[in-house]
Copies of this chain bind each other. A is one copy, B any other.
Amino acid sequence: MDAIQVGIIMGSDSDLSTMTKCAEILKQFGIPYYMTVASAHRTPDRVAAVVKRAEEEDWKVIVAGAGMAAHLAGVVAAHTIIPVIGVPMPSSDLNGLDALLSTVQMPGGVPVATMGLGSAGAKNAGLLAVRILATSDQALRDKLREYRDREARSVIEKAEKIESTQ
């Protein structure tokens, strides 16, 4: 079994379908990952334990997704020097503004790489993790370029379809 490169932690199992977008990107790039649930508020010790394991096993990136007063990414970042990517969940009444501000407005000293809200953010968390891993992996850089070109071609195909039907 390959060593874990990326850890995905979500604050609640209700975030699973969203955070799966992150896992799917990692799978697509062949990056071994570990995905689990750990709540900064209901299971602070579990969060600490997962982060400790991350340091011991030398994970390269941790992705943390949470909603409402989303403290998970910040708490993880406080316990490690591994790069932490935060995904705010739009799960509450305030359209996700609470989760977004709780994740991004970190005080100087403890960075959280914050993504956009929800599925787009989760997908981008996976891609940022790959970009980070690719800084020391030429093969991954090539794969990222191929991925980007495929995405661009997909836009162009849609454009052609729309143009042809006018």
Chain B residues in 8 Å Cβ range of A161: 13
- Residue ID in chain B nearest A45 by CB atoms: B152
Contacts of A102 in B (CB 8 A): 69, 71, 98, 101-102, 105
Which residue from B39, B45, B83, B163 sits with its C-beta under 8 Å from A131? B83
With both beta carbons as reference points, the residue of chain B lying nearest to A59 in the complex is identified as B135
A101 near B152: Cβ-Cβ < 8 Å: no
A108 close to B132 (CB less than 8 A):
no
Q: A46-B156, A105-B102, A120-B107 are in contact. Are A135 and B132 (CB under 8 A)?
A: yes
Whether B93 pairs with A96 at a CB distance below 8 angstroms is yes
The answer, yes or no, to whether A40 is at the interface (CB within 8 Å) is yes
Q: Which residue of B77, B93, B110, B155 is within 8 Å of A37 (Cβ)?
A: B155
Q: Which of B42, B97, B124 contacts A111 (CB 8 A)?
A: B124
Could you tell me if A128 and B104 are in contact, using CB atoms closer than 8 angstroms?
A: no
Q: How far is the CA of A75 from the CA of B125 in the complex (A)?
A: 18
A1 at interface by CB-CB < 8 Å: no
CB neighbours (8 Å) of A148 from chain B are 42, 81, 109
A75 with B106: CB separation less than 8 A: no
> Do B110 and A114 touch (CB < 8 A)?
no
Compute how far the CA of A109 lies from the CA of B161 in the bound complex, rounded to whole angstroms.
Answer: 21
Compute how far the CA of A75 lies from the CA of B124 in the bound complex, rounded to whole angstroms.
Answer: 15
Q: List 7 A-B contacts (CB under 8 A).
A: A68-B105, A69-B104, A69-B107, A71-B102, A105-B117, A109-B127, A135-B136
